[in-house]
Amino acid sequence: MTFYTYGYLTNHHSNWQYLRIALIIALLAVFIGLFITYLRHSWNVKYKDMSIITGTLLLLVLGFQINSLVSLRSATEQTSEITGIVKNVAKQLDVQPSKLAVNATTTNNNLLIKAPSGYYRLAYNADGSAYVVERVQLQRPKVTIVKE
């Protein structure tokens, strides 16, 4: 069973976003350079073909980036929900949130919290608006903790 620390939940950001932005800027610079070269040497068709290929790659990478940003936004919203729950449980258990770990990065019905005093399960009501924290005993837990 994998548990994620509070630090992991709050600081887990994708560094691939910066690499993709750098790739978009590089492709845009190459595209502009090839297009300007084509305009100067309009008799040479290879610059036109290369600028079309680069423009197509640029649009493809832009599409991936937009899709990734939408996914990142959704994941950030879900992570903010789970960190809020961890803060509330920490307040109820009278411990710091950094000492807790949770078994999921999104909210679900089978949420387990690992605290220094033991394991706790969150039992949600029917509409999911409230929960009860109850202590549980795990039989032979194989716990892996993912830290930041």
Domain boundaries, the chain: 2-146
Dihedral over Cα of 66, 71, 77, 80: its sign: negative
Report which of 26, 2, 9 is spatially closest to residue 105, judged by C-alpha positions: 9
**pLDDT tens-digit map of 20-56:** 788 889 999 999 998 899 889 888 888 889 989 999 9
Q: Low-confidence residues of the chain, pLDDT below 50?
A: none
Environment class of residue 72 by beta-carbon count within 10 Å: exposed (0-12), middle (13-18) or buried (19+)?
middle
Instruction: Please tell me what DSSP assigns to residue 147.
Output: -
pLDDT of 15 reads 61
pLDDT of 131 reads 85
CA gyration radius, the chain: 24
The token pair that represents 129 in the structure block: 């608006």
pLDDT of 14 reads 58
Determine contact, residues 127/100, Cβ cutoff 8 Å. Answer: no
